[in-house]
Amino acid sequence: MSVYKPCDIRGPVSELSPELYRRWGRSLGRRLEPGARFVVGGDVRATTPAFTAALIEGLCEQGMNVLDLGIVPAPMVYFARWSREARACAIVTASHHPPDNNGLKWTIGNQPPTEDDVLALEHDAVAEQDVGPRPPSGRHVRADITEEYGQWLQSVFGKQGQSRLAHGRARLGQSLFSVVVDPGNGCWSGRAVRHLTQVFPDAGFLAIHDEPDGTFPNRNADCSKPQYLTRLSETVRERGAALGIAFDGDGDRVAFVDDEGVGLSAEEATYILLHSLGGELGGRAFVHDIKFSDRIAETAGRLGGIPITERSGHAFIRTRMIETRALFGAEISGHYFYGALHGGDDGLYTACRMLVHLAGRGESLTALRKECPPVHMTPDLRLRVTAEDHQRLIEDVKDAFQDRPQTLVDGVRIDFPDGWALIRSSVTEPALTLRFEAASDTGLDQLVRRFCERVPGLGEKLLDQYESTRA
């Protein structure tokens, strides 16, 4: 598949080069006036320094004044963009993808790229073949914003966090704020515990996998799947900790493990975070991706929020956050977005919000997890098909269920009296992704089988995939 995705650029490093990043830098620089401030950072992968240097060269050749943050978590790049009043930012990263991948994320102003923006970068890269480095007309300055970011985080959560911590300790004892942190050898390594201790000086934090290493030797860079958080779960149980916190490779995603060592699903974490907002949600939009359980939209509605369904993908959720001036947003992969962050996301900010809420409730994370309504839903069921067959098969599903209500935000979602079915194109591989939800486990099984019977072109392979998840 192409490295040019709907939201960003990412793929095997064998398909990338410093020259490509230099061209992308020139292309991005042409979108702004000369002298504009442009923030750049990168993740811990071995190829990132060379790619970042080339990107900066391209930006400077187009007259950008580049603020180079070096190797930092993605949320710190976003923070620097708005705190330093920069016009744009870019991050050399492949996020949660394997070590032999890399990529590029960017925003111009506060807007993430559209699919047309990504295509424009591809066009410019091809058009500039065989053009070597040019004399720079912009400036390149290195900057360390670690203290600035930490002070901001403390100003947001510090006073409230310490007050609630004292309240929670009085009810549950010291163990309430014994926390295990797992940066997964990614960008929050050596940083997350430092900032958390700054915000919660009376809490106890233990870090695992805390050395930055772009080969991700201890676990997968993706924190969204419980099977990658085995050691975190074990450490939480061994230490009798209140919870575990895990980040992905570039630090914008976050996942949680409760005091029993159970990984929270995206629905459970989002349910708790919705409640952490209290009365703030009343009358405000909550943006969620289409793959979430209906239980989450129902929860937001009960709390007075206005749930809005959006296409899966960081840029799509963030764009809708900005358009609707939403208070909160969630993507099932572990991205959490906030109006207070100009529609952006930040894994460490979300961790602080979870800790403050947990302390204020004075209850265990296990107890809060169990408050979430039961969810009867399949994981993503992936069927590898050729790119040419994607849209045809989606159209076949639409035709097979013409009698049912359909939502076309991302692929097609078919609504049934007892649940729903979603089929969409994967943005990471040549595959179709399907997901189903029903009101009960038995109802889920019946729904999947009814669906397979009506779509014979997909049914047999899909049923095999589904049954493998039930084994």
Would residue 19 be called left, alpha or beta, if left means φ above 0 and alpha means ψ between -120 and 50 degrees?
Answer: alpha
CA–CA separation, 409 vs 289, rounded Å? 10
- Nearest by Cα to 431 from 471, 395, 380, 467: 380
The strand pairing partners of 337, in sequence order, are 329, 345
The tokens of 400 are what? 């097979």
Is 95 assigned a catalytic role?
yes
List the catalytic residue out of 27, 83, 95, 468.
Answer: 95
Give the C-alpha separation, 90 to 381, whole Å: 33
- Tokens in use for 290? 């289409």
| Token representation of residue 335 | 């991205």
Catalytic residue ranges:
95
